[in-house]
Homo-oligomer: A and B are copies of this chain.
Amino acid sequence: MIKIQKEDFNSEVEINKIKKLHSNVGAVSSFIGYVRDENNNKAVRSINLEVYQEMAHKQFEKIINEANLKWKLEDSLIIHRYGKLEVNSKIVLVACFSKHRKESFESCNFIMDYLKKDAPFWKNEFYGDKNEWLSNSN
């Protein structure tokens, strides 16, 4: 399941929606990314997250396909927000559903790596009255 949205999400609800389809799932590993109050030693107020929607969808599908080739997953979920996000807001949720722990852990980490490298999102960080475009270090 892939969602690219402005709105916040409830990770319990989103994970349950998928989990209840799979009684053979014993392991859900997930990652939530948040807007931090500080970056590169500057106090962050908020970010504006721009997205190239059609491409983000395509890239997420590709990432999930790759993960499914590498691990035996029962299901997976990516929710990525865009737009104006205040400090402490959730940015992203990745959750991987598998029978056993190893698969869900490794695939969740893999999806996050890939997402940071290839997903077409751009963060514009606001500090006081200044702002700056970021790029991921890896």
Contacts and interface: CB of A to CB of B under 8 A. Distances in A.
How big is the A interface, by class?
20 to 34
Interface of A: 10-13, 15, 19-20, 23-38, 87-88, 99, 101, 104-105, 108-109, 112
A10 B13 CA distance: 9
21 contacts: A11-B12, A12-B12, A15-B32, A19-B34, A19-B88, A23-B36, A23-B37, A23-B88, A24-B36, A25-B34, A25-B36, A26-B33, A26-B35, A26-B36, A27-B33, A29-B108, A30-B31, A31-B101, A31-B104, A101-B112, A105-B112
B29 A34 contact: no
**Closest 8 pairs (CB-CB, A-B):** A12-B12, A23-B37, A26-B36, A28-B32, A11-B12, A10-B12, A29-B31, A30-B30
Given A26-B36, A36-B99, A105 B10 contact: no
A87 B36 contact: no
A27 B34 contact: yes
A109 to B, nearest CB: 5
Contacts of A24: 36-38
